[in-house]
Amino acid sequence: MTQTEQATQQLADALKKYWGYESFHDLQLPAMSAVLEDRDSLVVLPTGGGKSLCYQAPAVCRDGMAIVISPLISLMKDQVDALKANGISAALINSTLSNAEKWNVAEQIKAGELKLLYLAPERIGAGKLLDLLSETKISFIAIDEAHCISQWGHDFRPHYRELKRLRERFAGVSLHAYTATATERVREDIQGQLGLEDPEVLVGSFDRPNLYYRVAKKNSVINQIQDVIGRHPDGAGIVYCISRKEVERVTLQLQAFGFKAASYHAGMDDVDRSANQEAFIKDEIQIIVATVAFGMGIDKPDVRFVIHTGIPKTVENYQQETGRAGRDGLDSECHLFYGGNDFRTWKMIFSDQPPKVQKESLASLQSMMDFCHNISCRHRSLVRHFGQELEKDCETNCDICTGDIKLVEDAQKISQMILSSVYRQQERFGSKYTAQVLKGSEDERIQTNGHDQLSTFGLLAAYTLKIIQDWIGQLVGQGFLIQDESDGYSILKISTTGQKLLKGEIVPKLIQPEAKSSASSSSSKSTKTRSMVGVDDGLFSALRELRTTKAREKEVPPYVVFGDAALIDMARRRPSNATKFLEVQGVGQKKCEEYSEEFLAVIKEYSESNQLDLDNDKVSYDDSSPIEEKPPTAGSIESFPFFEEGLSVEEVATKVGRATSTTYGYLTDYIRNRKVSDPSPWVDSAIASRVEAAIAEIKPTRLKLLYLHFEEEIDYKDLRIVYECFRNREQ
C-alpha cells in the first residue's frame, strides 16, 4: 500500500469510527489530504458540504493539536460539544470562560491532551496565549469562515486581518482557510491576506440540490410565512427581516398565531439574544425571527425552511443565509418575499457609507434584485453568480422549473413596448419615469420633456405602475436592459441582447401580474419529502422524542446526540443489534456504545407493535426517480393542448417557455391525466417493446431498477414515458 493509500485509509477509518460515515463528500478527501501533507489550502464548500470535517478528521489522524480560528462563540461551543460527543478531545478559549476554566484548558494544552483547540480571532493578540501555544506541538492551523478576512467578503471583520501573525509566529505550520461563499475576487484576497504559500485551492459546487427555492412578491407576508410553516409543523425554521422593527412585529404575529417563535437582532439585550439562540438550537422554540445578525456559523443541521421577508443586500448573503437550511442534506425550503420598498430601505441603510463603498453596496443590491427578476432556474442563476455552470436546470426544486410562476403570453410585445420607450426617451431616464410614460401619467416632468407625445405614451395604461416597474426589473434581470449608475442616477440603457429583442430575434419571459396566492403556488410541493421515502413517521417521531430526552439530560442540542439524517436512517433500517446500529449513517463507535441500547429498544418495541420487520437491509438512497404520482402543476396543464395537437416535446417547450427537461415532466403529467397508452409518438417502437417486456417481467417499484436492468442504456425519460403508458393500458 502506497503512502497516499495509507493516508486515505487512515482518514476513512477515522470518518467511520468517530462520525459514522462510510464515504467522503465531494472534495473532502483532497482537502483532508492537503492537511496531512502539510500543504496550505483554501477550501470553498457550500454550507452542508462537510466543510468542518475537512479539518476535524485530519486533526485526529495527526500528532499534536490543531488550532481552529472561529468567529462566533456559539459555533465554537456547538462544534466542541459535537466533537466530545464523538469521543474526540477538544476545547475552546473565548471571553465566556471563567479564569478557572481558562486555566483548566491551559493545563490540557500543556499535557498534550487536546486534538483541537478553538479560538476567537481576537485571542490572537493575547501574548501569553501565543507563548503557551509556541511551546506546544501544533499540527496545523485552520481558519473557519475565512471570507471574514476579505474586505470584499460579505462579513468582513477587522480582527481577521491579524491572523497573518499566525504565519509569522508558527513558521513551518501549514495554514488552511475554509469558507462556504467566496467569489474569485474574495478567494484571491484571502490568499493574500493570510500569506498562503502555493495553496491547494479547492472550490466545490455552489449548488445545494436539496434546497427548494421560491421567489415571490410580498402579498400579505404573514400569510405567506404561515403557508411555509404549515408544511413543516415540527420543523425548525429561520425568518429573516431587513429591520429590527420588522423582526419584532413578525415575531409577535407568529406568537399570536400559536407558533413558538422568538426574536434575534443586534438591538436586543445580549442575555436575551443568547437565550433565544440557545432555545432555537435546543429545539425549545421552532422559529427564530432575525436580522442578518443571526446565523453565521450556526451549526444546527436540521433547519427545514428559511424565509426572507425582504431582499438580502447581496447574493452572497442570500446564499449564506439560505444555506442554513438543510445542512444535513435533507429536503428543505427557501422562500424570498420581496417588495418595492426593500430597495429603498437598503439605500437608506447605505446612505452613511463612504461614496466608493456605497457604490459597491448598491451594485451588489442590484445583482440581488436581478436574481429576483430572473426567469431562469434559481439553482442555475445562483451558481452562475459564483462563476459556475450547471449541466442542466434543477427541474423539480425551484418555482421556475416546477411551473409555479405563470408567464405572460405576449411577453415579446410588452417587452418591445418597454424597450422602445427607453429608446425614445434617449436612454436618459430611470425605471419609475419609464413606467410613468408607459402608464400615461400626467406627471408635470413628462409633459415638460414632451414625452406625453411619444408613441409609447400610455401603451400600458391597463396595468398599474407597480406591475410595469416589475416588468422593467425583470428585463434588467434577464439582461435586456442595463441600469447605469455611473452619474449618480439610475438610468436605463438598452443592451446588445435588448437590441435583438427590439428586432424580434429573441423572445423574453415576463411574469403575469395575476400571481397565484401563496397557498396554491406552493401546494404542489409535497409534504412527504424524498428524504422520508420508506420511513415510518411514527417510528421517526418516537426516535426524536428519545433524542430530545437524551439531549436534555446532557444539556446539549438534540443534533449533537443524533441528527435528523441519522434518525431517518434508523427508522428505515430498523436495526436489531449494536452491529446493525453501527451501519446507520452518522453512528460512530462512541455513540453506538453510549446510545444503542436505548434507541434499539424503541425501535424494537415500535416495530413489534406495528408489525414492521427489523433489519431492513434493502435501503436505497437514490430517490431521484421514484415512481410516484403527484397532481399536475399549472405549468404542466398549460402544456396539455399542445401535446393534444401532436407537437414534439421541443416544440411544446418553446410554446410554454420552459426547458426541454422540464417539459418532459409535463409530458408525464399529460400521459397520466389523459390516460395515454401508446408511447410511440415519443419513444422508438423497438425500445418501447423492450421496456414493456421488462416491466411485465420485473414489476419495478422504482425507475432506477429499470435503468439498471438495461445497464443504463435507455434514458430515464424514455423509461418513464413507456412505464406510464404501460400502466394506463393495464388499468
Q: What is the mean pLDDT of residues 266-293?
A: 88
The span from the CA of 672 to the CA of 443, in Å, is 54
Q: Count of domains in the chain?
A: 5
Asked, for residue 308, whether it belongs to a domain, the answer is yes
Let me know: does 192 contact 180? Beta carbons within 8 Å.
Answer: no
Q: How far apart are alpha carbons 722 and 689 in whole angstroms?
A: 9
Q: State residue 521's pLDDT score.
A: 42
Sign of CA dihedral 694, 695, 696, 702: positive
CATH number at residue 138: 3.40.50.300
d(CA 289, CA 300): 15
- pLDDT for residue 500 is more than 50: yes
Whether residue 292 is predicted with pLDDT greater than 80 in this model: the reply is no
What's the CA gap between 346 and 243, in Å, rounded?
10
Could you tell me if 225 and 270 lie in one domain?
A: yes
Q: Reduced to 3 states, what is the DSSP secondary structure of residue 220?
A: coil
Q: Identify the pLDDT of residue 700.
A: 75
Q: Does residue 274 sit in the same domain as residue 292?
A: yes
Encoded amino acid at 27, one letter = L
Please name the residues in contact with 171: beta carbons below 8 A apart, sequence gap of 6 or more. Answer: none
C-alpha cell at 522: 406552493
Same domain assignment for residues 199 and 215? no
Q: What is the domain-level CATH number for residue 579?
A: 1.10.150.80
Question: Are the C-beta atoms of residues 189 and 151 closer than 8 Å to each other?
Answer: yes
Give start and end residues of each alpha helix (H) in 386-504: 411-424, 431-439, 444-448, 465-477, 496-502
Q: Cα–Cα–Cα angle for 455, 457, 460, nearest 5°?
A: 115
What distance in Å separates the CA atoms of residue 27 and residue 33, rounded to the nearest whole number? 10
CA distance between the termini of the chain = 58
Residue 588 DSSP label: -
Residue at a domain's end among 203, 225, 240: 203
Question: Which pLDDT band, with edges at 50, 70 and 90, does 153 fall under?
Answer: low
Say yes or no: 73 and 189 in one domain: yes
pLDDT of residue 622: 43
Which pLDDT band, with edges at 50, 70 and 90, does 517 fall under?
very low
- The fraction of the chain above a pLDDT of 90, given in percent, is 37
Residue 237: strand, helix, or coil: strand
The answer to the question of residue 122 being in a domain is yes
| Residue 433: CATH number of its domain | 1.10.10.10
- Position 474 scores a pLDDT of 87
Domain that holds residue 122: 3-203
DSSP letters for 623-685: -SSB----PPPHHHHHHHHHHHTT--HHHHHHHHT--HHHHHHHHHHHHHHTT----TTTS-H
Instruction: List Cβ neighbours of 245 (8 Å cut-off, separation of 6 or more).
Output: none
Question: What is the pLDDT of the chain when averaged over all its residues?
Answer: 85
Residue 494 has pLDDT above 60, yes or no: yes
**Is residue 156, in this structure, part of any structural domain at all?**
yes
Phi, psi of 174 (to 5 degrees): -70, 150
Neighbours of 629 (CB within 10 A): 9
Mean pLDDT of 663-682: 88
Q: Let me know whether 450 and 341 are in one domain.
A: no
Does residue 586 share a domain with residue 455?
no
pLDDT beyond 90 at 415: yes
Residue 508 lies in a domain: no
Cβ density class 593-607: b for 16+ within 10 Å, e for less: ebbbeebbebbeebb
Cell numbers found for residue 544: 426524536
In a domain, 51, yes or no: yes
Please indicate, yes or no, if residue 525 is contained in any of the structural domains. Answer: no
CB atoms within 10 A of CB 49: 23
Please check whether residues 640 and 549 belong to one and the same domain. Answer: no
Model confidence band, residue 440 (pLDDT cutoffs 50, 70, 90): very high
pLDDT band at 522 (very low <50, low <70, confident <90, very high): very low
* Positive or negative torsion for Cα 371, 375, 377, 381: negative
pLDDT for 490 beyond 90: no
Please name the residues in contact with 560: beta carbons below 8 A apart, sequence gap of 6 or more: 78, 81, 82, 85, 551, 554
pTM score, whole prediction: 0.71
Question: Which of 567, 593, 609 is the C-terminal boundary of a domain?
Answer: 609
Q: Left, alpha or beta for 423 (phi > 0: left; psi -120 to 50: alpha)?
A: alpha
Tell me how far apart the alpha carbons of residues 78 and 627 are, in angstroms, rounded to a whole number: 40
Residues 195 and 334 in one domain: no
pLDDT for residue 180: 79
pLDDT given for residue 386 in this prediction = 82
Whether 45 maps to a domain, the answer reads yes
The pLDDT value recorded for residue 389 is: 83
If DSSP codes are grouped into helix, strand and coil, which group holds residue 308? strand
* β 90-93/65-69 pair status: unpaired
The whole-angstrom separation of Cα 302 and Cα 283 is 10
Backbone angles phi, psi at 730, to 5 degrees: -70, -35
Tell me the pairing of strands 287-290 and 261-264: parallel
Cα 230 from Cα 364, distance rounded (Å): 33
Give the containing element (helix H, strand E) for 452. Answer: none
Q: What is the mean pLDDT of residues 422-437?
A: 93
Characterize the bridge pairing of strands 491-494 and 481-484.
antiparallel
Same domain membership, residue 658 and residue 605: no
Phi, psi of 700 (to 5 degrees): -70, 145
Confidence (pLDDT) at 621: 44
Q: Which residues contact 517 (CB under 8 A, 6 or more apart)?
A: 219
Indicate whether 443 and 347 sit together in one domain: no
Taking only the tens place, the pLDDT of each residue in 300-319 is 889 999 999 999 989 988 98
* CA neighbor of 180 nearest in space, from 255, 75, 273, 86: 75
Q: Are 178 and 146 in contact (CB under 8 A)?
A: yes
Q: Is the pLDDT of residue 597 over 50?
A: yes
Cell readout for 197 is: 504559500
- Asked which of 159, 186, 203 is the last residue of a domain, the reply is 203
In the block, which residue shows the cell 426544486? 397
CA distance 330 to 327: 7
253 and 122 assigned to the same domain? no
C-alpha cell at 397: 426544486
Size of the chain, expressed as the number of residues it contains: 731
**pLDDT band, residue 50 (cuts 50/70/90):** confident
Q: Does a structural domain hold residue 627?
A: no
User: What does the alpha-carbon distance between residue 658 and residue 116 come to, in Å, rounded to a whole number?
Assistant: 50
Q: What is the pLDDT of residues 218-255, one digit of tens each?
A: 888 999 999 999 888 889 999 999 989 999 999 999 99
Q: Say if residue 453's pLDDT is above 50.
A: yes
For the beta carbon of residue 429, count every other beta carbon within 10 angstroms: 21
Residue 276 has a CB neighbour count (10 Å cut-off) of: 23
Least confident of 25-29, 377-381, 418-422, 432-436: 25-29
User: Are residues 225 and 361 part of one domain?
Assistant: yes
Alpha helix (H) residue ranges in 135-220: 164-169, 184-194
